[in-house]
A and B are shown apart, each in its own frame.
Chain A
Amino acid sequence: GDSVTQMEGPVTLSEEAFLTINCTYTATGYPSLFWYVQYPGEGLQLLLKATKADDKGSNKGFEATYRKETTSFHLEKGSVQVSDSAVYFCALPMNTGFQKLVFGTGTRLLVSP
């Protein structure tokens, strides 16, 4: 079935460092792909999306490219800030079942000053 695999966390970085969080997926067809961010005690916020192969989603300095060949959607940011500390989830809508979202286990990012 459809699934998402994310790198284990926590990822610990200093402010202004480069960030990569890996995400690979298994799916039938070519679904849309999403990154969501969750701050402590809050719900999930949509960070960025890509709807087809080779699309690049971007928002708030974060980017991710939909790579069909490697079935990946890695999240990157050139210079992280302390305020980026959160849990990041990669997700895709299932091809069946009314497009409910399937999530990875999440990657916690900790940015220190």
Chain B
Amino acid sequence: DTGVSQDPRHKITKRGQNVTFRCDPISEHNRLYWYRQTLGQGPEFLTYFQNEAQLEKSRLLSDRFSAERPKGSFSTLEIQRTEQGDSAMYLCASRRDTTYEQYFGPGTRLTVT
């Protein structure tokens, strides 16, 4: 396994700007999850894809957030009109159909100034 990769690792943006993050899951993993982690807390679920279908979204995912997984491979998470409260680590994870453990990428740390 080459592991889950995320890009960029760090992003600093001004309030009101749009940002987009990318996640490349482990190649044979159909299931992909996005989480958000704020300082001193555990990750919180944002959204879930099975292949290219987005099957669940958390209430945390306001209408400024959108996620896609075209062709069921990589995924993108876009935040429009960023706010300071969006500052967090955004984590992507993937797993196989047959087991429950998820494998995480290194995360993208977003700072909104």
Contact = CB atoms under 8 A, between A and B. Distances in A.
Interface residues of A, number: 25
Contacts, number: 61
A13 interface: no
B50 A98 contact: yes
A101 B50 contact: no
B43 A103 contact: yes
B62 to A, nearest CB: 18
Contacts of A102: 45
Given A89-B42, A101-B43, A46 B103 contact: yes
Contacts of B101: 32, 34, 46, 49
Interface string B33-49: 10100001111110010
Nearest to A48: B101
